[in-house]
Structure 1
Amino acid sequence: MKGAWPWSRELRRGNRSEPGVKSWEERRNTRSAVLEKQRNDGSPDEVTMKQDSDAVNVPACFISSHEGFLGSIKNFIRDFVVTEIDLNGQQVNKAAATQTPGGASSYNNNEPTAEFKQNNQSSVSFDTDVPADCEVDFAPPSPGNFDLGVILGQSVSDELEQFVLTLKDEKPTRQELSLGSFTDKHHRANVHRAVRHRFPFLMTVTIQPEIRVREDPDYRELSQLVTEDEAEDFFRFIDAKVRGSSYTFGPDDNKEHRTAVHHFLSRRFGKLVETKSFSDQGSTAISVRLRERGRPKKRSAEERKEEEVYTAFTLCKENLETLEAISYMAAALGVLPSDFTYAGIKDKRAITYQSMVVRKVSPQRLKEKTGEFEKRGMRLSQIRSVSEPLRLGRLQGNHFDLVVRDLRPHGASDTHASGADRQACLAVLVKEAVENVKVRGFVNYYGPQRFGSGQSVQSDRVGLALLKEDMVSALHLFFTPEEGDDPQSHAKRHFLQTDNAKESLALMPLSKARERLMLRALNRYGTGADGCAQAWLSLPHSMRVFYPHAYCSRVWNEAVAHRLATLGHSARRGDLVWMQEGNNKPEDTAETSSAQIHVVTDQEEQGGVYTLGQVLLPMPGNTVKYPENAMGTWYQERLARDGLEDCRFRVGSLKLNLPGCYRPLLALPHNLSYQLQRAACREGGGGAVSGERKQDSPTLTLNFDLDSSCYATICLREIMKCDP
């Protein structure tokens, strides 16, 4: 049938024979929010829309027309259990991953993700240091060693001289000059050295094999604090990187001015140099010395071996964010949070099982810490050596074991109906809802946890500011406090009111790893634009990229709601679908290139070749194609509304690249089973449930698998027809 998704067997209300159902229905009040059914060209498929002004995170759009019911989840931590499913289809808490002869777990695939590839194939690199192919220490060369006329050719050298003249006495500019292409890496290294020695105020930019030059904004800023000769000499000193060398600025008895110079050098070169004021014959000057770790030193074989150690384990955590758990383990083990890799982030208010790999920690050392971790709600198991880290997205999906408590029908409950009547009615509602979703699936929204449900400022707003490269606004949004005076909100409020990162850091709870990392950076680099950028850079890449991804997820959620409301429930001309044999969805949508995407034609729409379940919508990014129908225009207008019409979805200063991906419009739960039972007397705690219902309110147990990046709360919402 054209465009049709198979329906489950309809449970017609007129044919229900369960005792008491009819009388219950006759007395039941009509729901205040009536479900509006939209049909498309006479097709039996339906899209049900419910508009709700309070549905901020996820549009209230459903794919099935069953009644649904009310209930509550996460009354207890054990009511929501999430278990990662590895690439072999095994739940990570039940069996260790299959070991290969080399010691690597089978889920450690050597093929990197699309985003990893993109990040490591960036066409532009800013060579503010000596090129990587010239790691040998060298003495500061004399100007005579660098003849630009010989290295570049006289015509290009003359052109460079003319370019430099245009930069003098002008405002900061992004103007560039190409010096040509240089295929030999040693030749490129000589060009980098020669240009920067002759013109320290220039930055060399490599777009291999081409070299371009532009003004160095750091030089312009420093030259406003010190003399031009000092600025040039300092940049030559930085460029040479002679181990053990130092540079001293001229005498400066103005303390405020020296402080400004110290702050600039710390902010821009803090990882490379250290500064100190000293007095000599009644005058004070600033001395700059290269840090010992400014240049990479040769590591011993033992040190290299230690850094190549990878230990895999299964982490079970309770009521902890994934990143919070990692921060605690990193501190206890003396490594960085970035030394931990994982396939996906799991819920906080849940019991979760997931695979992780930590670098530079042996299995024995990790085992010694397990007792300490257990005190913080973390249990480690299946600890073993592997040969490489995990990659984000390297999982098949997640298994969920959920309990929904306090079940009741939508609308006002009938206090006159017998308990048996209510039980029978709910049994029918639950069966219809679960069977419908089992067969038809649900709208594949990103869940509210993607945006920080309940927060004053949600993550997508922070991500939008980052995509606009407005680091200060993004940071202020990040530090917007919640209502109330809990320690975290108090620390955030103090920072926004005082701009004092050091005092705010002392107030921030130790468990808030992201906030503390950023406050440390702000204390070191200042709270200006550059300091804010350094604060964002202090976060591991997986934390930084979360916020722009949240924005793109918001756009995707809005796109799917608009698509269903305007184009209906069948595949239409211009829609995107997978180009594949057998129409089976690939294992990982993020790793599928645009070449595998097919645009539905008029003939395919008329012939019903594709169904709604095969339609994809793109997550905004720089490698995706957009639908060739009204949805393509919608994406353009939506991004333009946020000022991103020319966005390249790259934030170079934060080393962020968003290639985008394709996400199926619908998702389907696998291996779904359920059990409805009358609740026994409840244990204390959790859930606002009246005393009358405690004894006899039914509970629903659900068990199912979802593909990676699909949300159990969204599946539950389709089943229940409300936000659980």
Structure 2
Amino acid sequence: MAMKTAEEHEVGISCFISDLPGFRGILKQRYSDFIVNEVDRDGTVVQLSSLDAPQEEPEENGTNTSDNVVSYASQIESFKSLAGDSDAVLLEEFINKINAGGEDGVSPIVLSPDSDKSHRKAMHNFFKENFKFLVTDVVDGPDASSKCIRVRLNSAEPNNKGKNSKKRKERGDKPFDSRGSENWPKNVGKFLRFHLYKENKDTHEALGVIGNMLSVQPKSFGFAGTKDKRAVTTQRVTVYKQRASRLASLNKRLFGIKLGDFCYVKEGLCLGQLLGNRFTITLRGIVADSEDIIKASADALGRHGFINYFGLQRFGSGSLPTHLIGAALLQGEWKLAVDMILDPRDGEKSAIAKARKYYKESSDVVGTLKQLPRYLVAERAVLQTLKTSPGNYLQALKSIPRTLRMLYVHSYQSYLWNHAASKRVQKYGTENVVLGDLVYCKENSTGKVTESVGSEYAEDCSGRYDSNNEDEISGEIHEEIDSVKVRLLVLAHCRGLLVLN
């Protein structure tokens, strides 16, 4: 059932510190009016300063296989006339990596978007005739209407002896996306950390686009917190065993997304590993009785602070508030949660609205998957599982990346916090400290307090492990829920009620 966008009073935001009449303005009239920069634990504001990949260090365990290199120069030249210069260069680099002895470590490549089906067929035939050690298939392009040809090593080709087939079966229950693990240099950190700059896209949508272009699973990525969709944001992201040069090459094909400031690190990012966020906000269409009221309100904000509510962005930017899905998860209502994720919503693009309505009326999983864009990570993950396991709603929910799945529960946690904060202010006001309040003094040591007060989430890296066993899945979700219930009981001791200068 379609629902209207949540309003402040519906998520527990109902009190003010000041009795001033205040003023009104339009927030996020343009997405560029809301700029968010992540602040890491060292207090450094994350900025995108360079799009260049660093010079790769030589591999300590590399071997020289030049004696076995086969030249495909003539085939590459023919391919150039069929596909163009950029795809020909991409293919040549791909084959060179394979010739260098790194079959297990070479990830698939995705060629440029191609809307001509007959041309794509000619491309497939060219590979069958000239590169028998490679196979091709079709994946969605950067937008819902485009298609791209993906090229990968043929694991069933006689020279490979099917050596990758066993690995493919084992990937589901391993952390991250472990392709290429055997040939990763020992002297290079296993995680590539980079700065993600995005415009008018949420974090999961942006990483979905990048993952599709890299042909890696969502669990390969780590980040400290999700950032607003209707905004310009910059944050840190880690990805498992990917080369900086490969990500840097995506910049020319990405829209509203930029990647840069690459470095290799030993550990991936987890939810909560940040000090906070810095916001630069532009208010438009200001309406006030006088300029004096605006100045008085700003002065009161500086002197008295504000009630530390979770804002509307915590409850999703769509017409379905995410805390309702979180409540269904906490109650074990698996089918209800799936229905709310898939049901039609107000205000979405016509293509997405059409796909949701089609599924609601037909329950055709395969047909709906063909219509849904790749960046709808949760919806596609649920439908992919229902395609193979009809009616298994618990399994379908478990297929959603854990970082996204837990956002639903965190949203409900935030909903309860807002209501508790309002009750506290209504009953005791904001002038005095009462028994049970958490008081943070700036002159005190900030070591441990900063972690509990400043983090968006508790640190959580366990989401990169998946399992296909339903008992384990059920146990894990219930374990998540039990953990959240405990956190709900101590929530008032982990987030300050008031923010003061």
- Distance in 2, matches of 1:303 and 1:69, equals 60
- Name the residue aligned to 1:504: 368
Please report the TM-score for the alignment, with normalisation by the length of structure 1: 0.45
Please report the TM-score for the alignment, with normalisation by the length of structure 2: 0.63
Deviation at 1:354, TM superposition (A): 0.9
CA deviations 1:591-627 (Å, max 9, x no partner) are 99xxxxxxxxxxxxxxxxxxxxxxxxxx99xxxxxxx
- Name the residue aligned to 1:397: 276
Instruction: Indicate the structure with greater strand content.
Output: 1
What is the letter of the counterpart of residue 226 of structure 2?
I
Aligned 8 A contact 1:358 1:389 in 2: yes
Aligned 8 A contact 2:48 2:261 in 1: no
Deviation at 1:469, TM superposition (A): 1.4
Deviation at 1:452, TM superposition (A): 2.0
Deviation at 1:520, TM superposition (A): 0.9
Q: Tell me the SS of whatever aligns to 2:346.
A: coil
Query: CA distance change for structure 1 residues 572 and 83 in 2, over 3 Å: closer, same or farther?
Result: closer
What is the letter of the counterpart of residue 349 of structure 1?
R
- Superposed counterparts of 1:217-616, under 5 Å: 302-303=182-183, 305=185, 309-373=190-254, 376-409=255-288, 425-426=290-291, 428-453=292-317, 455=319, 457-483=320-346, 486-526=350-390, 528=391, 531-571=392-432, 573-577=434-438, 582-583=443-444, 586-589=449-452
Instruction: Find out whether 1:60 has 2:40 as its counterpart.
Output: no
RMSD between aligned alpha carbons? 3.3
- Name the residue aligned to 2:38: 84
- Name the residue aligned to 1:43: none
Q: Tell me the SS of whatever aligns to 2:325.
A: helix
- Name the residue aligned to 2:495: 663
- Distance in 2, matches of 1:387 and 1:335, equals 19
Aligned 8 A contact 1:338 1:540 in 2: yes
- Distance in 1, matches of 2:169 and 2:29, equals 52
What is the letter of the counterpart of residue 81 of structure 1?
I
- Distance in 1, matches of 2:304 and 2:419, equals 21
Q: Tell me the SS of whatever aligns to 2:227.
A: coil
- Distance in 2, matches of 1:77 and 1:494, equals 30
Deviation at 1:467, TM superposition (A): 0.9
Report sequence identity in percent: 29
Query: CA distance change for structure 1 residues 53 and 367 in 2, over 3 Å: closer, same or farther?
Result: closer
CA deviations 1:12-45 (Å, max 9, x no partner) are xxxxxxxxxxxxxxxxxxxxxxxxxxxxxxxxxx
CA deviations 1:459-512 (Å, max 9, x no partner) are 111111111112111111222211367222222222232222112212212331
Deviation at 1:409, TM superposition (A): 1.4
- Superposed counterparts of 1:156-175, under 5 Å: none
Deviation at 1:319, TM superposition (A): 0.5
CA deviations 1:645-672 (Å, max 9, x no partner) are xxxxx96346624252411001246xxx
- Distance in 1, matches of 2:356 and 2:13, equals 30
- Distance in 2, matches of 1:591 and 1:83, equals 15
Q: Tell me the SS of whatever aligns to 2:182.
A: helix
- Distance in 2, matches of 1:295 and 1:403, equals 49
Q: Tell me the SS of whatever aligns to 1:72.
A: strand
Query: CA distance change for structure 1 residues 572 and 406 in 2, over 3 Å: closer, same or farther?
Result: closer
Query: CA distance change for structure 1 residues 292 and 332 in 2, over 3 Å: closer, same or farther?
Result: closer
Deviation at 1:580, TM superposition (A): 8.2
Aligned 8 A contact 1:70 1:407 in 2: yes
Query: CA distance change for structure 1 residues 353 and 293 in 2, over 3 Å: closer, same or farther?
Result: closer
What is the letter of the counterpart of residue 665 of structure 1?
L
Query: CA distance change for structure 1 residues 500 and 388 in 2, over 3 Å: closer, same or farther?
Result: same
- Distance in 2, matches of 1:299 and 1:372, equals 24
- Distance in 1, matches of 2:412 and 2:396, equals 20
Query: CA distance change for structure 1 residues 652 and 387 in 2, over 3 Å: closer, same or farther?
Result: closer
Instruction: Indicate the structure with greater helix content.
Output: 2
- Distance in 2, matches of 1:377 and 1:77, equals 12
Unaligned regions of 5+ residues in structure 1, if any?
A: 1-51, 97-102, 104-289, 411-424, 593-618, 621-649, 670-724
CA deviations 1:286-307 (Å, max 9, x no partner) are xxxx977556899997346599
| Higher CA-based Rg | 1
Aligned 8 A contact 1:57 1:453 in 2: no
- Distance in 2, matches of 1:573 and 1:491, equals 52
Unaligned regions of 5+ residues in structure 2, if any?
A: 1-5, 51-56, 58-164, 459-473
Aligned 8 A contact 1:81 1:350 in 2: yes
- Name the residue aligned to 1:187: none
